[in-house]
Structure 1
Amino acid sequence: MRTSHGLGVELLWKLDEDVDADVRAAVELLRSPSSLRTREQTEQLREVLQRRIEDARRADPSAGYAAHLRTALDYRDWFRFHTFVVEDAAPGRRRKLTGRTGLSQGEQRVLSYLVLFAAAAAHFSSLAESAPHAPRLILLDDAFAKVDEPTHGRLGRILVDLDLDFVLTSERLMGNWPEVPSLHIYECLRDPHVRGVATLHYTWNGRHRRLVSV
């Protein structure tokens, strides 16, 4: 997906620059199948991993052996996600997404939403292997603030395409975009001279909004 100015994001998962020499050695050795490693390489890998386990044990002697293994061998801690900005106007060019990338607040927010949605969908898909009925739910407070209106529906379409259920709160959005096939909408109304809040319940079917109850 691209913003109205043709900007998008690219995610890169790579080895963290701050990891120690043992981790770098382990990653290089683990890239090759065990059947292709020499006996010396296998022994080197065993020594590297054993040192990591010993380091975990020294850092927290009270933890059990299983905890030491999880700490020492969780390769996810060895890598980091890096987010780059890509643009249709300059194919092949990418810039790291930081506070100094030179984007408007709206563009930064859209690109951040793309990363958030992709990460949430990947997490829930992984979780579904052990918990198939876990909800794929994402909550967005003050949703899509400072994002141009034509992009609202496109972001909603991404949530639908990624099979994410969502709860959005906003002072100005109803969420009744043609790109979203169904919604329940609750509008809260408050009279400053009356105690309490009135709630209007609507449904949206992708074409029409219908008042269900007051």
Structure 2
Amino acid sequence: LRAGLTGAERELFDQTLTGETRRHLAARIRQAGELVDTMNARLKRVRTASKVAVRLVWEVDPNLPAGTGAARELLLTDPERLDDADKDVLHAFFRERVDEARRHGTAAGWEGQLAQVFDYTSWHRFGVQIDRANGEGWQLLTKRLHGALSGGEKAIALHLPLFAAVAAHYQAVPAAPRFILLDEVFVGVDATNRGQVFDLLTALDLDLVLTSDHEWCTYRELDGIAVHQLITGDGDDAVTTARFVWDGRALAEERGAP
């Protein structure tokens, strides 16, 4: 019975790994990699005054069982180029993953187990790397390394990956509004770096709404933004606003604007 079941499973895996499932899975993995490359090309625009740069890495999770990386590469390979040894590697890998799903009871039924096994997002993890232009190259951003950065550099290292992730999320629905709301924006980041970050936000085509008690967004990297200053009266609770517009060159008050 076990041999017969294994033979049937092998046939199913062979059909899966040479058919539409494999093509779809390979396409999604490649699309994710291309998306990360696009985000990194935009993140490359920002390097702090102290020469710190940030990038994303999307890699096979090293905590997963040995062979995950090799199986991933074989899935991305044209099925016609796979020999029997390659197919044996793939079959053994997925057989082990199905057995693991059964042991842990995390998926019910054969279809559920297959869905869990082919969930490529669970094979990967995101990381943030920084380059401090000190000859050490790109390093994984750990708590220890983050603690060694200045206040502005810490803010940059945390903000940029989040902006990239938001932009990637919105990319899935091109017609959707691309809002990002920030309270007390870029505290601790110097003016030069703030201009670079706004340039990145423009490149990511994000619609920024922010609050600040000091930021007027008058950076050449921004070609247009409206600023509403809250004004309180003396001795009463009334609050009104004055509207200013920055056009990339000058800040002007719009009198009579709502």
- TM norm. shorter chain > 0.5: yes
Task: For residue 100 of structure 1, report the CA deviation from its aligned partner.
Answer: 1.6
8 Å contact from structure 1 (residues 156, 180) kept in 2: yes
In structure 2, how many angstroms separate the alpha carbons of the residues matched to 1:191 and 1:210?
A: 19
In structure 1, how many angstroms separate the alpha carbons of the residues matched to 2:176 and 2:113?
A: 29
| Number of the residue aligned with 2:161 | 115
| Number of the residue aligned with 1:187 | 229
Task: For residue 48 of structure 1, report the CA deviation from its aligned partner.
Answer: 3.2
| Number of the residue aligned with 2:141 | 97
In structure 1, how many angstroms separate the alpha carbons of the residues matched to 2:217 and 2:76?
A: 46
Higher helix share: 2
**Match of residue 83, structure 2, among 38, 49, 53:** 38
Matched, 1:154 2:201: no
**Match of residue 29, structure 1, among 67, 74, 92:** 74
In structure 1, how many angstroms separate the alpha carbons of the residues matched to 2:87 and 2:185?
A: 51
> What do residues 33-78 of structure 1 show as CA deviations (whole Å, max 9, x unaligned)?
22111134324424533554565573143x994x654433121221
* Structure 1 spans left out of the alignment, 5+ residues: none
**Match of residue 124, structure 1, among 162, 166, 170:** 170
In structure 1, how many angstroms separate the alpha carbons of the residues matched to 2:131 and 2:123?
A: 26
In structure 2, how many angstroms separate the alpha carbons of the residues matched to 1:56 and 1:85?
A: 36
8 Å contact from structure 1 (residues 25, 48) kept in 2: no
In structure 1, how many angstroms separate the alpha carbons of the residues matched to 2:235 and 2:107?
A: 60
8 Å contact from structure 2 (residues 107, 116) kept in 1: no
Amino-acid identity (%):
31
Q: Which has the larger radius of gyration?
A: 2
Matched, 1:176 2:223: no
Q: Aligned residues, how many?
A: 207
Matched, 1:16 2:61: yes
SS in 1 for 2:254: strand
In structure 2, how many angstroms separate the alpha carbons of the residues matched to 1:146 and 1:92?
A: 26
In structure 2, how many angstroms separate the alpha carbons of the residues matched to 1:187 and 1:54?
A: 62
Which stretches of structure 1, 4 residues or more, deviate above 6 A after TM superposition?
Answer: none
Tell me the C-alpha RMSD between the 2 structures: 2.7
**Match of residue 76, structure 1, among 112, 115, 121:** 121
In structure 2, how many angstroms separate the alpha carbons of the residues matched to 1:124 and 1:152?
A: 23
| Number of the residue aligned with 1:133 | 175
SS in 2 for 1:138: strand
